[in-house]
């Protein structure tokens, strides 16, 4: 009995949700039953604010390079974005995650440094 339960839990944490949210932004994963949201994240340089190439490593979003190719800064922050344009799509990491869970852990504050995002800034502040 114990083994079956452990196996079940193990499978659940391992689920990659690959069959979930194929055409929708949120919904239940058909493989594990979790309610998921499709979220996009962008990694930006702490020094100069440019978008940095990113990848998912051990469930963490990390920049591909250790240092910013623009200013040499090592620091970075993760920005969540709801509206993804096709330029950002090159940098954005799409993650299917349990609703409301990931952003609480990883995105404590949103800093909009791109002047093009001023529209987003206002929307974020109002809500």
The residues binding Zn ion (CB under 5 A) are 15, 17, 29, 31-32, 45, 47-48, 68, 70-71, 73
- Beta carbon nearer to Zn ion, 17 or 63: 17
Across 12-116, the runs of DSSP E, i.e. the strands, are 26-28, 35-45, 51-52, 54-57, 60-63, 76-81, 93-98
Least separation, in Å, of the C-beta of 75 and Zn ion? 9
- Tell me whether residue 34 or residue 81 sits nearer to Zn ion (CB atom): 34
Q: Which of 17, 61 has the CB closer to Zn ion?
A: 17
Report the C-alpha gap between 86 and 100 in whole angstroms.
Answer: 25
Closest separation in Å from C-beta 32 to Zn ion: 3
Q: How many CB atoms lie within 10 A of CB 72?
A: 10
Q: And the tokens for 90?
A: 């090159």
> Rounded to the nearest whole angstrom, what is the least distance from the CB of residue 17 to Zn ion in the complex?
4
């Amino acid at each position: 009995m114990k083994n079956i339960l452990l196996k079940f839990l193990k499978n659940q944490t391992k689920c990659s949700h690959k069959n979930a949210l194929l055409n929708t932004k949120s919904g239940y994963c058909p493989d594990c039953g979790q309610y998921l949201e499709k979220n996009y994240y962008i990694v930006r340089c702490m020094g100069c604010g440019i978008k940095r190439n990113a990848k998912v490593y051990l469930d963490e979003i990390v920049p591909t390079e250790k240092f910013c190719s623009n200013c040499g800064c090592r620091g970075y922050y993760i920005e969540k974005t709801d509206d993804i344009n096709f330029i950002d799509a090159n940098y954005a990491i799409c993650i299917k995650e349990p609703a409301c869970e990931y952003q609480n852990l990883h995105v404590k504050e949103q800093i909009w440094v791109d002047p093009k995002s001023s529209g987003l800034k206002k929307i974020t502040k109002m809500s």
